[in-house]
Amino acid sequence: MRKTTIRTTFTVLMSAIALTACSSQSVKETIGSGGDIKKPVVSSKTNNGATNGTLNPDGSSKVSTSEQNGSNFNYLPGSNNDPNNTQDITLAGLNDPNNLLSQRVIYFDYNRSSIRPEYMVLINTHSKLLAKYPNLKMRLEGHADERGSREYNVALSEARSQSVKNIMVAQGPRSDQLKTIGFGEEVPVVSGHSPSAWQKNRRVEIKYDDY
Amino acid sequence: MANTNKYKFLLTVLLFISSTVAIAELELRISKTSDDGIPIYLANIPGGANGIIEADLKRSGRFTVVNRSKINNLPPYGSVLNGGAYSNIADYIVRGKPLNGGLEVELTSTSDNAKTIYKISSNSNSRRVAHQAADKIYEKITREKGAFDTRLAYVTVTNKTSDNRLFRLYVSDSDGHRPKAILTSRLPVMSPAWSPNAQQLAYVSFEENTSAIYVQNIFTGQKRKISARDGINGAPAWSPDGNRLAMSLSINGSPDIYVANVNNGRLTRVTTSSAIDTEPAWSGTNSIIFTSNRGGSPQLYRISAAGGTAQRLTFDGKYNSAADIANKKLAFVRGNRGAFNIAIRSVNNSGADTLSNGQLDESPTLSPNGAMVAYTTLKNGDNTLAVVSDNAKSRQFLTSPVGDVREPAWSPYLNQ
For residue A33, the model assigns a pLDDT of 32
3-state secondary structure of A200: helix
Residue A106 near residue A206, CB atoms below 8 Å: yes
Cα angle: B123, vertex B125, B130; to 5 degrees = 80
H helices, E strands: number in chain A: 5, 8
Using CB atoms, which residue from A154, A187, A188 is nearest to B234?
A154
> How much is the average pLDDT of B29-40?
90
Fold of B33-142: Rossmann fold (3.40.50)
Chain A residue numbers with beta carbons less than 8 Å from the beta carbon of B378 are: 193
The ipTM, to two decimals, is 0.91
Instruction: Report the alpha-carbon distance of residue A38 to residue A58 in Å, rounded.
Output: 9
Q: pLDDT tens digit string along B145-160? A: 999 999 999 999 999 9
Residue of chain A nearest B322, judged by CA positions: A149
Using CB atoms, which residue from B190, B254, B279 is nearest to A186?
B190
Contact B256/A at CB under 8 A:
no
Q: pLDDT tens digit string along B59-104? A: 999 999 999 999 999 999 999 999 999 999 999 999 999 999 999 9
Residue spans of alpha helices (H) in chain A: 2-21, 91-94, 120-132, 150-169, 195-201
Max CA separation in chain A (angstroms): 49
Residue B20 near residue B70, CB atoms below 8 Å: no
Q: pLDDT tens digit string along B340-383? A: 999 999 999 889 999 999 999 999 999 999 999 999 999 988 99
Instruction: Report the alpha-carbon distance of residue B298 to residue A191 in Å, rounded.
Output: 25
For residue A71, pLDDT beyond 50: no
For residue A74, the model assigns a pLDDT of 41
Q: pLDDT tens digit string along B102-135? A: 999 999 999 999 999 999 999 999 999 999 999 9
* Architecture of the CATH domain B151-410: 6 Propeller (2.120)
In one-letter notation, the amino acid at residue B154 is: Y
**Does the distance separating the beta carbons of B254 and A182 come in below 8 Å?**
no
Which residues of A sit within 8 Å Cβ distance of B? 1-2, 5-6, 111, 146-152, 154-156, 158-159, 180-184, 186-193
- For chain B, the domains span 33-142, 151-410
Rounded to the nearest integer, the mean pLDDT of chain B is 93
Strand partners, B297: none
What's the CATH class of domain A2-208?
A: alpha beta
Instruction: Report the alpha-carbon distance of residue B211 to residue A166 in Å, rounded.
Output: 21
**Does the distance separating the beta carbons of B340 and A1 come in below 8 Å?**
no
Which of A51-55, B166-170, B223-227, B389-393 shows the lowest per-residue confidence on average (mean pLDDT)? A51-55
**Does the distance separating the beta carbons of A147 and B255 come in below 8 Å?**
no
Instruction: Report the alpha-carbon distance of residue B355 to residue B364 in Å, rounded.
Output: 10
For helices B49-59 and B126-142, the axis angle rounded to 10 degrees is: 50
- Kindly give, in sequence order, each residue whose CB lies less than 8 Å from that of residue A172, ignoring residues fewer than 6 positions away: A127, A128, A130, A131
> How much is the average pLDDT of B170-183?
95
Rounded to a whole number, what is the distance in Å from the CA of A79 to chain B's nearest CA? 32
Instruction: Report the alpha-carbon distance of residue B219 to residue B79 in Å, rounded.
Output: 42
Contact B158/A at CB under 8 A:
no
Instruction: Report the alpha-carbon distance of residue B160 to residue A201 in Å, rounded.
Output: 12
Using CB atoms, which residue from A111, A182, A193 is nearest to B360?
A193
